[in-house]
Structure 1
């Protein structure tokens, strides 16, 4: 990065701060899974997307998401971590449960 930027330090610090925030968010997600009794026991990836199988309060469930949807969600989350305005992605006609967090 030093060869591309004359002053890479601020950018490296910025990237490190974003990585730290992501790590903290993942830790919080794991805590919430434990609190709610959710246990992921299978993750399968193929050319279409990802399928996750999990236990929640004794019941087996599954969740799947296409790669295109994962990419779109990741883009929004990355922009949010970078402090960019993500309001353009939120449809005000959707209920709170459908909004991207």
Structure 2
């Protein structure tokens, strides 16, 4: 019996991993800038809001990593170019790569960041169905 190739769900986990890594870094960087800028009268309030988003991203990233362990997935090379994000991975013995262009990567990052910050998406309900909020994503990675 042949081993099944990398599934759509496994590719989605890898993409989520990439998004969550970038989102967490952006939130952490934004917190530092808010604290150090001296521009805000009450930086602690903004740091708290953005910090909560970073915590949510970190929790989801930890869950994705646990799922990686269960499914024998390892992302071993991540690069950026003017076109987008490239990642190489191993999944149950298969070696593969993923390329995500900047426009779609940024759009999904912004959608997820809004969800992690508890913000309402600026678009209609149809967009929400295309990019489910964090709670729906969390449920989707809890597959045994």
TM-score, normalised to structure 2, is 0.56
What does the per-residue CA deviation read over 1:34-55, in whole Å, with 9 as the maximum and x for residues that have no partner? 1111011222221101111111
Structure (1/2) with the larger strand percentage: 1
Q: Residue 128 of structure 2: which of 80, 86, 90 is its match?
A: 90
Give the total of aligned pairs.
94
Alignment of 1:61 onto 2:99: no
Q: Which has the larger radius of gyration?
A: 1
Greater relative contact order, per chain length (Cα 8 Å cut-off, separation 6+): 2
Distance in 2, matches of 1:56 and 1:100, equals: 25
Where structure 2 has 5 or more consecutive residues not aligned to the other structure, the ranges are 1-33, 133-144
1:41 aligns with 2:70: no
1:70 aligns with 2:70: no
Per the TM alignment, residue 77 of structure 1 is displaced from its structure 2 partner at its CA by: 0.6
Q: Match for residue 95 of structure 1?
A: none
Note the C-alpha offset of 1:4.
Answer: 4.1
Larger helix fraction of residues: 2
Query: SS at the partner of 1:27?
Result: helix
CA contact under 8 A between 2:52 and 2:117: conserved in structure 1?
Answer: no
What's the TM-score, normalizing by structure 1?
A: 0.76
Aligned partner of residue 104 in structure 2, secondary structure = helix
CA RMSD of aligned residues (A): 2.1
- Extract unaligned runs of 5+ from structure 1: 92-98
Q: CA distance change for structure 1 residues 47 and 8 in 2, over 3 Å: closer, same or farther?
A: closer
